[in-house]
Amino acid sequence: SLSDRLTGTFANLRGKGRLSESDVNKTIRDIRMALIDADVALPVVKEFTSAVRERATGAEVSGALNPAQQVIKIVNEELVGILGGNTRELTLAKRPPTVIMLAGLQGSGKTTFAGKLGARLKEQGHTPILVAADLQRPNAVTQLEVVAERAGVSVFAPERGNIGGHDAGAAGEGTRSFGDPVSVAREGIAHAQSRQHDVVIVDTAGRLAVDADLMQQAADIRTAISPDEVLFVIDAMIGQAAVETAQAFQQGVGFTGVVLSKLDGDARGGAALSVARTTGRPIMFASTGEGVRDLEVFHPDRMASRILDMGDVLTLIEQAERAFDAGQAEEMQRKFLAAEDFTFDDFLQQMAALKKMGSLKSMLKMMPGMGQMAAQLDNLDEREFDRVEAMVRSMTPFERNHPKQINGSRRARIARGSGVQVSEVNQLLERFGEAQKMMKQLARGGGMPGMPGLPG
């Protein structure tokens, strides 16, 4: 498998410093295949891989990962970045009702999603109503009524007698016929207002392929009701056509967010990347079945690993990084314990090492027996850190190695040299003495029995 190949090929290439062009190219070839397999649109594949190549070439190789893993890590981060760009919740209107319009091809899952969203909003304490503005087929209204009933929410539908035979572009002819989707949408909102519904979900018509009449009708509805959100529903199985369809809807109607439907199927979700990359709109929901509860908030990280289909490689990368961190922590602990008599020189060295590694606190928390110290450090900010360092640097080598010999006049000199109060030097020496005792105890017994919260 791809995973085996990636782990196998590069297994012996750790710690090479920087990613070379050939490291990157080898892996990019595999990534390209994975993206194409996931049905990401070809122009998006091209653009994406060249962006990754640019970022990855010359990037530093962390000690934990081999070059291939490093590239995949970058790919994954980029994917999550694109899929998670502008991630947000539904925008609710300051003055209700919030109007949410649905747009998308026929069969994309709009009507089904209307019910799901209604049910979800109802659970959250809203009083949503669905409006049937798809009048292309008489049974579209019936379908929405069934969906609304399943979701346990209200529905506004035109009278049946007036449906049918209407042109998609018939809006704006001055008639107030229930057969006109623009009028129905308007009346639905007025109805919602009068009945205190705080969210209106407007279902619209779609055709099997993008067509001008359909776009015009949806655009007219949008203009008439100025919705707070226009959600573009797209079938995850749409494959290569995702870009063209999304662009057509973006230009023809415009939308504020995306709903990816039928993610319960085999689709690897390439459409998600295609749509997010070409429209820049956030994917907000994932529809995962025909049932009214089959709706999830969209998770960029899950989608990224579905598209890459490298869940096991990503897990491996995570494990490798964690193991590497733990290895460094162990090394630190060994150094701590080996210090026969902990001196200020050791202290300076430790501090430099810890600073280099980033987070002192998180390192200490990983060391057995150091939780208490890490907790104390929570109150210590970086500036205080610098003051401590200044004080230690003002000590002579003798003083650093013999802290107990630092008498009053030496303390005054250290304080002057480092620009702090004598009381601060006193405090440091006191704390240092305690730490020294703790180190010895740890070195001897490998733990501190009797102290709550610490492993014995």
Q: Which amino acid is at 77?
A: E
Regarding 70 and contact with Mg ion (CB under 5 A), the answer is no
- The answer to whether 274 contacts Mg ion (rule: CB under 5 A) is no
CB of 255: closest distance to ligand GDP in angstroms? 14
Q: Residue 296 or residue 325: which is nearer to ligand GDP going by CB? A: 296
Residue 204 interacts with Mg ion (CB under 5 A): yes or no: no
Q: At closest approach, how far in Å is the CB of 259 from ligand GDP? A: 9
Task: Choose among ligand GDP, Mg ion, none what residue 37 binds, the Cβ cut-off being 5 to 8 Å by kind.
Answer: none
Is position 58 annotated in a ligand binding site?
Answer: no
Q: How far apart are CA 371 and CA 364, in angstroms?
A: 7
Nearer to ligand GDP, 233 or 329 (CB): 233
Residue 128, strand partner residues: 199
Annotated binding residue at 264? yes
What values do phi and psi take at 8, rounded to 5?
A: -70, -55
Cβ 429 vs Cβ 411: under 8 Å: yes
Helix (H, G, I), strand (E, B) or coil at 202: strand
**Residue 109 marked in a binding site:** yes
* Interface characters, 337-366, with ligand GDP (x: CB under 6 A): ------------------------------
Nearest to 227 by CA among 95, 98, 89: 98
Point out which span in 104-112, 119-127, 366-374, 419-427 binds Mg ion (CB under 5 A): 104-112
- Judged by beta carbon, residue 10 or residue 232, the one nearer ligand GDP is 232
By the rule CB under 6 A, 206 interacts with ligand GDP: yes
Q: How does strand 229-235 pair with strand 257-261?
A: parallel
The residue written with tokens 């994406």 in the block is: 48
Identify which range of 15-23, 103-111, 191-199, 243-251 contacts ligand GDP by CB under 6 A.
Answer: 103-111
Is 288 a binder of ligand GDP (CB under 6 A)? yes
Does the annotation place 1 within a ligand binding site? Answer: no
Rounded CA-CA distance 134/158 in Å is 10
- Select from ligand GDP, Mg ion, none the partner in contact with residue 278, using the beta carbon and a kind-dependent cut-off of 5 to 8 Å: none
Edge-to-edge, what's the strand order for the sheet holding 128-133? 154-156, 128-133, 199-204, 98-103, 229-235, 257-261, 283-287, 295-297
- Kindly tell me which residue out of 112, 183, 278, 279 binds ligand GDP, with binding defined by CB under 6 A: 112
Apex 313 CA angle, 312 and 316, nearest 5: 90
Q: Is 111 in the site for Mg ion (CB under 5 A)?
A: yes
CA torsion, ordered 283, 225, 189, 165, to nearest 10 deg: -100
Stretch that binds ligand GDP, among 35-43, 168-176, 287-295, 337-345 (CB under 6 A): 287-295
**What whole-number distance in Å separates Cα of residue 158 and Cα of residue 141?**
8
Binding region for ligand GDP (CB under 6 A) out of 101-109, 121-129, 180-188, 312-320: 101-109
Is there binding between residue 281 and ligand GDP (CB under 6 A)?
A: no
Tell me how far apart the alpha carbons of residues 134 and 156 are, in angstroms, rounded to a whole number.
12
228-255: burial string, b at 16+ Cβ within 10 Å, e else: bbbbbbbbbbbbbbbbebbebbbebbeb
Residue position matching structure tokens 């440091």: 428
**Which stretch in 154-162, 283-291, 390-398, 431-439 sits in contact with ligand GDP by CB under 6 A?**
283-291
Chain position carrying tokens 């907790």:
375
> Residue 429 corresponds to which tokens in the numbers above?
């020496």
262 binds, among Mg ion, ligand GDP, none (CB under 5 to 8 A by kind): ligand GDP
Q: Is 216 in the site for ligand GDP (CB under 6 A)?
A: no
Measured from the CB atom, the residue of 110 and 268 that comes closer to Mg ion is: 110
Residue for token pair 């998770």: 299
Token representation of residue 351: 């501090």
How many residues lie near ligand GDP (CB under 6 A)? 18
Check whether 164 is labelled as a binding-site residue. no
Binding footprint of Mg ion, residue count (CB under 5 A): 2
Least Å from the CB of residue 233 to ligand GDP:
6
Cα-Cα-Cα-Cα dihedral of 10, 3, 18, 305, to 10°? -170
Q: Are 112 and 261 in contact (CB under 8 A)?
A: yes
Question: Is 408 labeled as ligand-binding?
Answer: no
* The one among 9, 62, 87, 106 contacting ligand GDP by CB under 6 A: 106
Indicate the annotated binding residues for GTP: 104-111, 203-207, 261-264
Residues making contact with ligand GDP (CB under 6 A)? 104, 106-112, 206, 261-262, 264-265, 287-290, 294
Q: Site residues (CB under 5 A) for Mg ion? A: 110-111
